[in-house]
Each structure stands twice: as C-alpha cells, then as structure tokens.
Amino acid sequence: MSEHEGLVSAYASDAERDAEVSVRPKRLAEFIAQHRVRDQLDLLLRGAMGRGAPPDHILLSGPPGLGKTTLANIVAAELGSSIRVTSGPAIERSGDLAAILTSLAEGDVLFIDEIHRIAKPAEELLYSAMEDFRVDVVVGKGPGATAIPLDVEPFTLVGATTRSGLLTGPMRDRFGFVAHLDFYSPADLETLLHRSARILGVPITDDGATEVAGRSRGTPRIANRLLRRVRDFAEVRADGVVNRENARAALAVYDVDERGLDRLDRAVLTALVDSFRGGPVGLSTLAVAVGEQPDTVEEVCEPFLVRAGLLARTPRGRVATEAAWHHLGRTPPTGTFGAAPPATPDLFSAET
C-alpha cells in the first residue's frame, strides 16, 4: 500500500480532488475553524483592498488535506481577482515560469502548489518577480547570452507547501505572510461534516457527525471521504441517514476504527503489544512482523500513531504507549513505561 491509498490517508487522487470541488468553501466566511489564520488573512486582504494594492505574498503551510488549496482559491475570490494555478514540479524550466509571470494581469493571484519542489533556476527568477515585479529572461547561450529585463504586473503569489522545512531561507523571507494550518478538533470536523452533508443533500444526525469526526484524524479531507463512504452504506444497506449506527456499521466494513486507525495501523500496534510485550523493538523487526516495508510503517503508519499518543519512538526502538494497550482492549503491564516518554496525545498541532 502506498501512502496515497487507503481510506484514512490524507493524500488524494486526482479523481478525489475533482470530487472535492463541490464541497470546497468559496469564501473566507465559509471556511471552518482555523480562526487565527482566518482572522489574519481577513485583515491582510481587507487592508490591501483598502489601499487598492495587491496584498503581500502568502505562504500556506501544513499537512495534506487541511485546506491550503481551498484557502488559495478563497484569497483570489475575496480579492475579486483571477487565479493562475501551477505547481513546483510543473515548472521545469525558468522559461516556463517567466511565461506565466509576464502574462499575469495586475492584481492576479498566482498559486504555486508544492512550492518547495520548484527547480533552482526558476526559484531565483521568482525572487526578483516577488520583490521587484521584474524578471530577467536570458536569451541565447554562452558568451553571447543576454539578459532581457521584463516587467511583471503587481501580483500576489500564494505558495502552498506540506514541507515548509524544505523551503530555502530566501524563498521563505519573501513571503509577507505565513499561515500554518493545524489539524482540526473533532468539534470543528462535526461542523464541517454538517456543512458537507447539506451540500451533498445527505441527511446527517449529530451523533452521526460525531462518529465520523472522531475517526477523521483531524483532517477535513478524510472527514469528507468517510462521509461519502458512510452515505453509500446508508443508502444501499439502510435508511439513507448518516447516523451513529450506520456510521459504525459502514466504517466497520471499511476497517476504520473509533480513533481512525486502519487495518495496518492496528496490525502495527497489535504486533508491538502481543509479540514484543509493548517494545521497545526496532523498526525493521516491527515491519517484518506486519509483513510491510520499513518505509511504509515509518512514513504511512507511524506519524499518526505518534500524534495520537499510541506509539513512541525511542532511541531503543518503537514502544506502545499505555493508551495503545487500552485502545486494543488489553491491560498494560505495570511499570514498563519508564522507557517511553509519557503519552501526550497531540492531535491538533501540525508539525511540518
């Protein structure tokens, strides 16, 4: 299984990204939660509109599925501007970027997704465009090459990244505003689910929303996906309503448990607890025990298990926390948790 598959993966296929458009909030007022970011953006955009100038360049950082693309589109909508969309990997040559930049109209929003993956020469071209609204396009090769300066209309760059740590210092410094998106609380996801259900025309009860929200790993994308799966179940096998009973039954079919763990997540914890008495055990041993590649265990399962306070990475290996034993319905042995740091579930702060 790759990290791009699975019902509780935060990554989306192209088809899913298309499906997401219908429930995507269009304006800042519809964007759920993230109050700090919303407030700051509201001020930034209103301030700029008051002055009649494009706002500072905006960097949106945070894990997948938390609303970066959504916010980029909202920025353009609030400004009443057109948005041009591209991505770091799509800009292979600086000429590609120069063509985009010089075709922008005054006040346009340029959205560069996965901006940490932009090629170096293009990145340098972007610096001068962001700072001075001009680019030097080099024509020709070798000693005869000449740089032709071209003007770029004042625009706003919105960059998105899931890996802000990979951005270069000069790149980061050129953004006047940096927004970090955090994981959502279950209560926020309930609000989000009620909104999505209304748009999709699916009846949902409060306890149904609570049930789905609790399994969504703090991520709007996962919440919306689970909602679609529960809707299928409710329509095919029940009365069409997303309530607690239908949500539980549907997500049992899909092997997603109360905390949002899937089959592999649970296999990892079960192996730790049952075969290694809670650990510590090395990553490769643990991977063999569940029949997966170490990379998969480390990159697909562990981030969420750690965030949920169910697994700890220690210098001596992986350890199941006390909460993990309880989650599996086992009684933890007493006095074995000195080796592991205390389990502090930290579901809502995003580390990038």
Feature table: binding site for ATP: 24, 65, 68-70, 131-133, 174, 184, 221
Crossing angle of helices 35-51 and 68-79, in 10° steps, is 30
Residue among 215, 217, 221, 259 flagged as catalytic: 221
Q: How far is the CB of 281 from ligand ATP (least distance, A)?
A: 32
279 binds, among Mg ion, ligand ATP, none (CB under 5 to 8 A by kind): none
Question: Are the beta carbons of 332 and 326 closer than 8 angstroms?
Answer: yes
Q: How far is the CB of 314 from ligand ATP (least distance, A)?
A: 30
Binding region for Mg ion (CB under 5 A) out of 69-77, 88-96, 265-273, 315-323: 69-77
> What minimum distance in Å lies between the beta carbon of 16 and ligand ATP?
9
Query: Which member of 69, 73, 94, 246 binds Mg ion (CB under 5 A)?
Result: 69
Q: Could you tell me the sign of the dihedral formed by the alpha carbons of 193, 199, 205, 208, in that order?
A: negative
Smallest distance, ligand ATP to C-beta of residue 141, A: 37
HEC secondary structure over 190-235 = HHHHHHHHHHHCCCECHHHHHHHHHCCCCCHHHHHHHHHHHHHHHH
Tell whether the torsion through CA atoms of 241, 245, 251 and 257 is positive or negative.
Answer: positive
Q: Is 224 in the site for ligand ATP (CB under 6 A)?
A: yes
- Tell me how far apart the alpha carbons of residues 95 and 141 are, in angstroms, rounded to a whole number: 14
Q: Which of 41, 192, 247, 289 binds ligand ATP (CB under 6 A)?
A: 192
One character per residue 34-53, x = contact with ligand ATP (rule: CB under 6 A): x-------------------
* Annotated binding-site positions: 24, 65, 68-70, 131-133, 174, 184, 221, 313, 318
Q: Which residues are annotated as a binding site for Mg(2+)?
A: 69
20 binds ligand ATP (CB under 6 A): yes
Q: Residue-wise over 320-343: b if at least 16 C-beta within 10 A, else e?
A: bbbbbbebbeeebeeeebeebeeb
User: What is the Cα–Cα distance from 107 to 100, expressed in whole angstroms?
Assistant: 14
Per the DSSP assignment, residues forming a β-bridge with 177 are 58
Asked whether the bond before 149 is cis by omega within 30 degrees of 0, the reply is no
Under the rule (CB under 6 A), what is the footprint of ligand ATP?
Answer: 12, 20, 23-25, 31-34, 64-70, 162, 192, 220-221, 224
